[in-house]
Structure 1
Amino acid sequence: MDNNIDNWESLPTQEVEKDLDTNIETGLTDKQVEARLSKYGKNVLPQGKVRPWYITFLLALVEPLQIILMIAAVISVLAPRIGDWHQPVHASDFIDFIVIIAIVVIDAVLETVQTVKARKSVDSLKTLSKPRAVVMRDGKQMEIDAADLVPGDIVLIEAGRFIPAELRILESSEFTVDESILTGESLPVNKNANPIKPTTILADKTNICFMNTFAVNGRAVGVVIKTGEETEIGKIAATINANTDTKTPLEKKLTKFSYWISVFAVLIAVVIFVSLYFTGEKNAWSNYLMVAITLAIGVIPESLAAVVSITLSFSTKRLAEENVIVKKLASVETLGSVNVICTDKTGTLTQNRMTVQKVITDNKVVDAKEYVNLANNFEKDIFKKLLLLPNDAVTEGEERIGDPTELALVDFAEKMGADEQEYRKKFKRIDELPFDSERKLMTTVNKDGKNNIICVKGAIDELLKVCDRILLDNKVQHLDEKMKKEILKESGSLSKNALRVLGFAYSDEQKKKDYEKNLIFVGAVGMIDPVRDSAVKAVKEAHDAGIRVVMITGDHPTTALAIAKDLDIAYTEYEVMTSATLEKLNDQQLLRVIDNIKVFARVNPEHKVRIVQALQAKGNITSMTGDGVNDAPSLSIADIGVAMGITGTDVAKQAADVILTDDNFLTMMKGVNEGRNVWQKIRRTIVFLLGINIANVLGILIISLINHTSPLEATDILWINLVVESLLAISMGMGPNDDSLMSLPPIKGNNGLLKGLLWPIIKISTILAGCLIGAFYVGMLATPDNLLTINKDQFVAGSTILGDGPSHQFDSWKELLKCNEFIRNSDAKINAIVYGRTAMFIVATLSPAIIAHIIRLSNWKSYKRVEFSINKSLLVASIIAVVLNTLILFIPGLNDTVFSLVGDKSWTSSNCWVIFMAIGFAFAAPALILLTDAIVFFGYHYAINPWERNRKMVSDLVRKDQAQEKAAKKKNKQKRTI
């Protein structure tokens, strides 16, 4: 047998039988089946490899930011020992190491848990059971597991069954197949055994049935030509499995940020060490190196990785409650970055359910809803019979079997109070003329009491040819040529709007050969797979958010454009491109025109991939939304693939990054909103962490250069960076969402994490650094005389400043700090600045608890009123931080021994003002930040200079004109529809 043929559709039946070495009448023998199973394998789709949870965990540990943090953790242990490796090791020396490693592990655990949870959620959405197939083998008909099919098997198919493999039709009877999951074609395709010219368009292969599509009407006999991975759906599944995971935009930005912050930290360390070395005591170089490394580590936002993971984890939890399953944490932010949404039509934007929209009755077009509400009369009673009697669709409960067009007629009749089952029992069918492609009519003869009624439906142009009367105003009247032209004109207007028109007529009993003669025309219906109401709202939200929506469908251009008009996606045929045109364009030509195309019609799966790749090549962050097998390759290649959870195929769900469990396109916009908020929360956290860290470094560096000693100890810096800031930063990601972000343009894919953040970081760091320095020097005014008396053993041997005395009394703390005759590692300077250190520590720990609440990066420029929302998690974290810092200040041993602050017994009525002064500086920093923001806000909205005012006025006029033009287009579209 030859199974390498590509153009099976062009071969005659006898040649197909010969090439496959099979027998149409008796099928394969058991021996042939066994040999072919051994050669071709099982008829199953290839499965992608599932990554074990521990591999996911290990990969999360080797992200760039995590590696930097682990290096910092090791340095935090080694730095204090530089120059003195023999000092004893204490458990307290590993506190910072433990905290940093804990943050890294927590981040990896969150990533692993979310990935495993998402995988389980996806598995639970798989609802299709194992398909079965009816075959002929050794001359016997039997039902087998579809996985056991082999090329050459003869398969019998009837309505209601899934196609178990790729088949070439050998015989058929009124056989139609729903191929929407593969081709995107919303209407069933008629299948027959006639050879056709070779074609690459799957939707045009009218004698081939594709695996996993669905038979909706009639019966057929086919021969298996391909199984498993060789089928069209198998090729798609294999392509998806071969695709390697690519980094999301957030992951790329975090990696880039990690490199930059590492370089910045190294530069900080070098600058600090060099500055201290050349301005201070040369023999204290190891102390300076330790300070430099400690501050360099302090610049690195250690909690950022945890903040990102926890923020994303909370977002995925919120999205799960909103029917959005996110398979990978970082995909949430990608949703917020999307600026082009490519979407399938059938089942995504539309309901994937043909519905009657218009009715032609009494020679006029009325809306279907209006017709349903009309009073019952003779014409309406006849019309209900015509909808249900010449109809083979079966509906019972949730089960719906039959042609979608006939199912739509049943649904419409039921809206008018007619029950399909009762009508068919009451008006039994006694004869029929089945539909065929030449007559384009279907006729049934049904018992109607003592008489019979002939019910005819079909193409309206063919139906009018056999009608000589018409039912008008409940009376039968003569149907002349002028009336026929008017009806055809009304029908044509519906067809132009992509509605499928079916006409209906009836007659009293006649001879069989005259069933379709001298009929009475009753009316017609126009039906279409209608857009979802939620999709209209979703597209509007997308446009308002600056997101372009592109429809990609296997449907015909006319149908696609009609749906696009209803959704306000496209308005003219110039915005529609077919696959035939697409194939004629090379990549460069496609890039030149793709920005002007809103609808791609009649496309194959490979075309969808090419379209997505072209959009990505233009610098867009592209989302692909779909439910069918034909969508899977593009779902996989897009920056973010979004699959439907109910109607979506398993292949589509496997390829996607996000799954909508309610099949609602509007739900995706909730994901976009969440993604934008995730991005904003991460950016706010970066501003907070870098602003506070740089402020601390600046304050410590400036004071160290002036006084030749660090104002804060390593333990103080560690507490500020890893406990206070981390506690606040993590809770910042748990706050409520800001819906105003949906009125901003999408984030550009090439924007780094620091894009637009330099000013707020500089603002916070400079203001807070000034307050830290101010608090230190004001606090030093409380230094008592006993701290200015230095014992002999704290000076270098032969010190000239001592004379012969056992100690030396300095006149001021400034004079003490300028003295260079202390021995190395002396506690003299540490003790002398304890009041300044305490004041600075209070500001460094209290001020961030306030600043965290006032960082605004939202869309304040678009509104003259700034709304503040309360982040309850951040409020609780701030209270905890304040309480912890208060305990540190007043718990004996903890304040002076561990943190080198003023001991609880040292506070008196004469120096306690330092605490209140420091609190004042702590509040001064956020107050100055708010004042700066208020000045900028006022200047933008209320003090615009003439040039900016004119520009704003022109922008407002342009937006107004665009809104009016859009409204006019919509109004014209509605007129054309009517």
Structure 2
Amino acid sequence: MHKDQQTPDTLPAYQLSPEECLLQLQSDEQGLSQLQADQRLQDTGPNRLPVAAKEGLLKRFFKHFHDILIYILLVAAGATALLGHWIDTGVILVVVIINATIGFIQEGKAEQALAGIRKMLSQRATAKRDGDWQEIEAEHLVPGDIVRLRSGDRVPADLRLLECNNLRIEESALTGESMPADKNTETATAATSLGDRSGMAYSGTLVAAGRGLGVVSATGSATELGRINRLIADVETLQTPLTRQMAQFSKILSVVIVGLAGLMLLVGILLHDFALSELFLAAIGFAVAAIPEGLPAILTITLALGVQRMAKRNAITRKLNAVETLGSVTVICSDKTGTLTRNEMTTRHVVTAAHSYHVSGTGYAPEGEISCDDDPIKAAQRVDLDALLETVAIANDSRVEATNGQWQVIGEPTEGALCTLVHKAGFEAHNYQRIAEIPFESDNKFMATLADTPDGERRILLKGAPDRLLERCRLQLDANGNTRPLDPTWWEQQLNQLSGEGLRVLAAAARTVPVSKDTLSIDDLDDLVFLGLIGIIDPPRPEAIEAIASCHAAGIRVKMITGDHAGTAEAIGREMGIGTDADPKVISGAEIEAASDEELARLAQTCDIFARTSPEHKLRLVKALQATNEIVAMTGDGVNDAPALKRADVGIAMGIKGTEATKEAADIVLADDNFSSIAQAVEEGRTIYDNLRKAIMFLLPTNGAQGLVILAAVVLGMVLPITPVQVLWVNMIVAVTLALALAFEPAEPGLMQRPPRDPGAAIISLVFLIRIGLVSVLIGAATIVVFQWQIRIGTELDMARSTAINTLVIAQACYLFNSRFLATHSLNPALLFTNKVAWLTIGILLLLQMAFIYLPFMNTAFGTTPLALQHWLMPLAVGIGVFLVIEGEKWVWQRLR
């Protein structure tokens, strides 16, 4: 255990006074000596979080062989090698290696893309060593170091604060609360939640305003970030719905294939006079024919194509199956701050005694306008508005500026919102000169300045908490710039109305003083004129509101799980359309803490807004939803979201404002932090699942037909219509051409109006099982009949087999058009050319098949022979017949429904 970690004899730093904390850490306000720091660094280790071990290249490559169907193919490859049939061995291994290579390359691309948007934690810190302030590497900090904090700094370790000068720290990454926290040196109790520990500064958070001094109480894995990191490591991840379905499907299919191969061996030995080596090779050929070895490759390719399409929409997928899983989600749990909202404070309303103003636009960009009764207003047009804007512009220590096209606040976020308001109103603040000031302090909750105006007046300008300003005012300003007696009751009503909308409310006040006055004290802040109220909020992303509506239309519930206060969460939730009621119920973290697992499962199902939650609460909610068979996606940007992201069926992190831990825990990273990308990914995931079912519906009956040809020949004691190596050829070219075409199918109409699919339902329904059997028998029987007819009319064996192979290939090409639409008729001319890749792959297939039939070296390798034109007509007739029969079967099922 590190020395900085808690033991039974110690208390957490937040429960100790500054003096007690220094004593416990064996330090003082002069800091450590370099010798002491070096010794402690050896004991505690560097101040950094442990980096998750990356899988080696070989492990990443060979894990793509972990599939029961692939294992059977590898056994078949070994058996053919022992028998000396090297071509068979080579073809089997090529198919297997191609599948693994595709998955390996795609995962590597996803990791590279993710690495490009990772953010680093604080790298430098100002610490007192040997009595002098020094700038050192943050990873060299140790418990007991004295660290100085200034506005704009990232806190480099967990600190027990010793001194605070208007210190405010933005802790949303840890707490989910959108507003910066006021800091002081007070001691907290054991029951105090993380967001309310005002005497602590936590690693990775950002100093929004003021200055501070603190002693390092924890570093590296012992910090609050480290605790969450350990929580992430302990979270158990679940298999995705597709992984579970495909694993179950593969097991059943493997048992059936191996059982039939064994039965074929017994029949061949007991009923027919087959040579054992020939019979064994036929059994291997049957297994290879019946196994859809192209399925893992098609699965990988289909998912990879979905990943690439999502990357173009700024969604970087770290795991191939994550997009498909997102297509099956029934619930999306989302953090609020920075995910559903912009994490950029914005002024919404300005209320003066004369007028109520609405402010449009979101974020720190000065885009939008101030309006009154729907009419755009500039500051100079209204005396009451101009006076209020003068106060919030001059009594302000922050600014907003554009960096690389992105508007950012330099300073405190709430003051940044006021700066943007001033820009929107066209108020000119540069001709004012500040004479004196009283900085914001948490005890007073206001900031005051003494400034000269361009008109030559000297004025006291005050902004801060409404209750603190109202008690210092006797007058209020009317529409003409005249003063009237203050109406406290009316202002309380306006304050309650704005607060009820989830807004943070500030007030402004001022008074003119003699130009000879050049100092400012608290005693001067009386008999002020109250100017009005400003309502500020971290606004919802407009695109997120649309995305939530799209998810609701798709039958997906959206739940907000935030560390922010209940009132703010309720207001944002109502505005975004989250919750089934006009007055949605909000569940607090304390209620989650007190609830049993059974009670929490009920709350998770019936409520959609959860406030003041900790990382453990978010994790419990995700588990509670999964316990009721929900498929859960979790989105977030803070470290406090990471454990729940890892546990969720799909974890989605914000790429720009998301923390490193969040991105590591996530399956998908949104490079543009745009929640609407999630709705697009749901559509993409549903399309992928449809296309995978189409691929399965295509591969199974075509493989079934190939296996049936060999099985029937052995059982009936016939000459094999197709040799095992010829079956491998058909498998390979069909898998890399026809089946691949189905991965490019566009989304079917009405896809996002369907309810989520049942995660427990089988991937193949009874109707599709009947179709698989029907197609297998149709194509298999037609191939045997064509071969037998060719033999009866005296055709040589190689030519008969070549004709039979053409029959098998062309029938499968025709069946591809049936498979493009699982229930809809494929004869619709409007849908015939919606997938041009299908036509391209058929062209490639025909070229490969002609090479197979006509090139001499292919004839030698595969035992084929050139065919005359008439030998192509019967296979073509069979293919058209199969297509028409299956279209008829679709029509029958539609009539029955």
Same fold (TM over 0.5): yes
Query: 1:260-409 alignment to 2 at 5 Å?
Result: 260-275=252-267, 281-282=272-273, 287-369=278-360, 371-372=370-371, 373-375=376-378, 376-377=380-381, 378-398=383-403, 400-409=409-418
Tell me: CA distance 1:103–1:524, structure 2 relative to 1, closer, same or farther (3 Å).
same
Provide the residue aligned with 1:557 in structure 2: 566
1:928 aligns with 2:892: no
What is the alpha-carbon distance in structure 1 between the residues aligned to residue 775 and residue 246 of structure 2?
27
What is the alpha-carbon distance in structure 1 between the residues aligned to residue 838 and residue 655 of structure 2?
35
Instruction: Deviation per CA, 1:921-969: give whole Å up to 9, x if none.
Output: 21110111122223433554xxxxxxxxxxxxxxxxxxxxxxxxxxxxx
1:518 aligns with 2:548: no
Tell me: CA distance 1:3–1:284, structure 2 relative to 1, closer, same or farther (3 Å).
closer
What is the alpha-carbon distance in structure 2 between the residues aligned to residue 197 and residue 313 of structure 1?
51
Q: Which amino acid aligns with 1:879?
A: G
1:70 aligns with 2:62: no
1:426 aligns with 2:428: no
Aligned 8 A contact 2:161 2:212 in 1: yes
Provide the residue aligned with 1:821 in structure 2: none
208, 213, 218: which one aligns with 1:216: 208
What is the alpha-carbon distance in structure 2 between the residues aligned to residue 702 and residue 152 of structure 1?
81
What is the alpha-carbon distance in structure 1 between the residues aligned to residue 4 and residue 281 of structure 2?
76
850-859 or 221-230, larger mean C-alpha shift: 850-859
Tell me: CA distance 1:75–1:247, structure 2 relative to 1, closer, same or farther (3 Å).
farther
21, 40, 44: which one aligns with 1:40: 44
Q: CA deviation at 1:618?
A: 1.9
Tell me: CA distance 1:628–1:858, structure 2 relative to 1, closer, same or farther (3 Å).
farther
440, 456, 464: which one aligns with 1:458: 464
Provide the residue aligned with 2:694 in structure 1: 684
Q: CA deviation at 1:314?
A: 2.1
What is the alpha-carbon distance in structure 1 between the residues aligned to residue 709 and residue 761 of structure 2?
30
Provide the residue aligned with 2:540 in structure 1: 531
Aligned 8 A contact 1:893 1:903 in 2: no
Query: 1:857-876 alignment to 2 at 5 Å?
Result: 867=831, 870-876=834-840
Q: CA deviation at 1:437?
A: 4.0
1:8 aligns with 2:16: no
653-662 or 591-600, larger mean C-alpha shift: 591-600
What is the alpha-carbon distance in structure 1 between the residues aligned to residue 790 and residue 721 of structure 2?
15
Aligned 8 A contact 2:452 2:458 in 1: yes
Provide the residue aligned with 2:495 in structure 1: 491
Question: Secondary structure, in 3 states, of the residue corresponding to 1:337?
Answer: coil
Tell me: CA distance 1:232–1:920, structure 2 relative to 1, closer, same or farther (3 Å).
same
> What is the identity percentage for the equivalent residue pairs of Structure 1 and Structure 2?
33
Question: Secondary structure, in 3 states, of the residue corresponding to 1:671?
Answer: helix
Query: 1:139-218 alignment to 2 at 5 Å?
Result: 139-218=131-210
Provide the residue aligned with 1:762 in structure 2: 770
Instruction: Deviation per CA, 1:866-889: give whole Å up to 9, x if none.
Output: 955632333211112123334545
What is the alpha-carbon distance in structure 2 between the residues aligned to residue 254 and residue 219 of structure 1?
57
Q: CA deviation at 1:286?
A: 5.5
Provide the residue aligned with 1:585 in structure 2: 595
Provide the residue aligned with 1:852 in structure 2: 816
Instruction: Deviation per CA, 1:605-656: give whole Å up to 9, x if none.
Output: 1222222222222222222211111112222222222111111111211221
Instruction: Deviation per CA, 1:382-414: give whole Å up to 9, x if none.
Output: 232122111111334435222211110001111
Question: Secondary structure, in 3 states, of the residue corresponding to 1:733?
Answer: helix
Aligned 8 A contact 2:370 2:424 in 1: no
656, 664, 669: which one aligns with 1:659: 669
867, 870, 876: which one aligns with 1:919: 876
1:416 aligns with 2:425: yes
Provide the residue aligned with 2:99 in structure 1: 107
Q: CA deviation at 1:130?
A: 4.7
Q: Which amino acid aligns with 1:12?
A: S
Aligned 8 A contact 1:134 1:142 in 2: yes
TM-score by length of 2: 0.90
Aligned 8 A contact 2:341 2:538 in 1: yes
Q: Select the structure of larger CA radius of gyration.
A: 1
Instruction: Deviation per CA, 1:196-232: give whole Å up to 9, x if none.
Output: 3222510011111111111111111111111111000
Q: Which amino acid aligns with 1:617?
A: A
566, 571, 575: which one aligns with 2:585: 575
- Give the paired residue count: 865
Tell me: CA distance 1:288–1:519, structure 2 relative to 1, closer, same or farther (3 Å).
same
Question: Secondary structure, in 3 states, of the residue corresponding to 2:462?
Answer: strand
Tell me: CA distance 1:418–1:853, structure 2 relative to 1, closer, same or farther (3 Å).
farther
Tell me: CA distance 1:725–1:439, structure 2 relative to 1, closer, same or farther (3 Å).
closer
Highest RCO, 1 vs 2 (Cα 8 Å, sep ≥ 6): 2
Instruction: Deviation per CA, 1:312-355: give whole Å up to 9, x if none.
Output: 22222222221111122222322222222221110000000110
Provide the residue aligned with 1:799 in structure 2: none
Tell me: CA distance 1:101–1:20, structure 2 relative to 1, closer, same or farther (3 Å).
same
Q: CA deviation at 1:105?
A: 1.5
Q: Which amino acid aligns with 1:476?
A: N
1:883 aligns with 2:843: no
Provide the residue aligned with 2:364 in structure 1: none
Q: Which amino acid aligns with 1:374?
A: I
Question: Secondary structure, in 3 states, of the residue corresponding to 1:151?
Answer: coil
Q: CA deviation at 1:672?
A: 2.2
454-463 or 220-229, larger mean C-alpha shift: 454-463
Aligned 8 A contact 2:267 2:715 in 1: yes
Aligned 8 A contact 1:576 1:598 in 2: yes
Question: Secondary structure, in 3 states, of the residue corresponding to 1:45?
Answer: coil
Question: Secondary structure, in 3 states, of the residue corresponding to 2:437?
Answer: strand
Tell me: CA distance 1:842–1:214, structure 2 relative to 1, closer, same or farther (3 Å).
same
Provide the residue aligned with 2:446 in structure 1: 441
Runs (5+) with no aligned partner, structure 2: 361-368
Tell me: CA distance 1:697–1:102, structure 2 relative to 1, closer, same or farther (3 Å).
closer
What is the alpha-carbon distance in structure 2 between the residues aligned to residue 410 and residue 21 of structure 1?
45
TM-score by length of 1: 0.83
Q: Which amino acid aligns with 1:441?
A: F
Aligned 8 A contact 2:393 2:422 in 1: yes
Q: Which amino acid aligns with 1:59?
A: K
Provide the residue aligned with 2:117 in structure 1: 125
Tell me: CA distance 1:779–1:62, structure 2 relative to 1, closer, same or farther (3 Å).
closer
1:615 aligns with 2:625: yes
Tell me: CA distance 1:786–1:875, structure 2 relative to 1, closer, same or farther (3 Å).
closer
Query: 1:221-240 alignment to 2 at 5 Å?
Result: 221-240=213-232
1:470 aligns with 2:461: no
Instruction: Deviation per CA, 1:852-900: give whole Å up to 9, x if none.
Output: 1331456859xx99955632333211112123334545567966x7666
Aligned 8 A contact 2:60 2:104 in 1: yes
What is the alpha-carbon distance in structure 2 between the residues aligned to residue 97 and residue 143 of structure 1?
64
Question: Secondary structure, in 3 states, of the residue corresponding to 1:885?
Answer: helix
Aligned 8 A contact 1:703 1:773 in 2: no
1:501 aligns with 2:458: no
Tell me: CA distance 1:479–1:930, structure 2 relative to 1, closer, same or farther (3 Å).
farther
Q: Which amino acid aligns with 2:297?
A: A
Question: Secondary structure, in 3 states, of the residue corresponding to 1:346?
Answer: helix
Q: CA deviation at 1:238?
A: 3.7
What is the alpha-carbon distance in structure 1 between the residues aligned to residue 394 and residue 187 of structure 2?
34
Q: CA deviation at 1:711?
A: 3.1
Instruction: Deviation per CA, 1:513-543: give whole Å up to 9, x if none.
Output: 6643333333221110000011111111222
Instruction: Deviation per CA, 1:347-367: give whole Å up to 9, x if none.
Output: 000000110111213445332
What is the alpha-carbon distance in structure 2 between the residues aligned to residue 854 and residue 460 of structure 1?
70
Q: CA deviation at 1:742?
A: 2.5
